[in-house]
Structure 1
Amino acid sequence: MWKDFKEFAMKGNIIDLAVAVVIGGAFGKIVTSLVENIIMPLVGVLTGGIDLTKSFVYGSGEAQIQLGVFLQSILDFLIIAFAIFMALRIMTKLTRKKEEAVVEEPTPELDAKEELLKEIRDLLKQEKA
């Protein structure tokens, strides 16, 4: 059983997935910080000081429905999703350009027989002309 697990864990796809999850989590924290510390304060200034996390609170005492925090989370998600989409789009374009630059039509190499046949063909064309 340990051998099977080790083979499964060491496959390239699993390791790539693990790296992607870690990098995605770190990228998510960066974008969340961008939203909370830069974008939302600007939105608050533009809307006259509205802070969604403190607005739209319903209920009393400990039993409160914080609709503003929920709306903030939705906005965070949309901005994070858009940022990841843009990053992936840029990375895809860069990899496509690299792939297009690398892919070239290889010129077929002629062996000795084919070379002789080409010469004979060319000589026959010259005799007819």
Structure 2
Amino acid sequence: MYRKLSNIDFKYFFSQKITEVNTEKNLPLGMAFETGGLIVECPWRLQVANEIVIGYSDCIQSPQRYSHKNVEKVLIGKRIVNILHFEQISDLVVEFEGSIYLELFHDSNYFEGWQLRGDNGFYLFSLPGGSYSD
């Protein structure tokens, strides 16, 4: 399957640090940047180099061992270096310094998957069925 990158300009987010990760139980994964944020309500995985260190399934299936606190330990203070958005099925990959990748996989025909916002008025979110809107 061919996946086409969107033409959306994400440069506003480059070099921003992660300042907070939501660690509350039963709430979606969310994080604040210096001037923006991301809310994740779909499956995701956090990869460091070539290893998955934690994923959505880990938090659901083994909450006594894995939680958003694991994500916080990896991402807090890290800078965003790139963001890739794929038009079909609206997947998003946020690349951080140190070869760290947060990959979001929209998987619902009924629910939104994620929301990326910037304090500059930037707002992008995945719609039910995998399309997106800004």
Shorter-chain TM-score bucket reads under 0.3
Q: In terms of Rg, which structure is larger?
A: 1
**Structure richer in strand, relative to its length:** 2
Q: TM-score with structure 2 length normalisation?
A: 0.19
Q: TM-score with structure 1 length normalisation?
A: 0.19
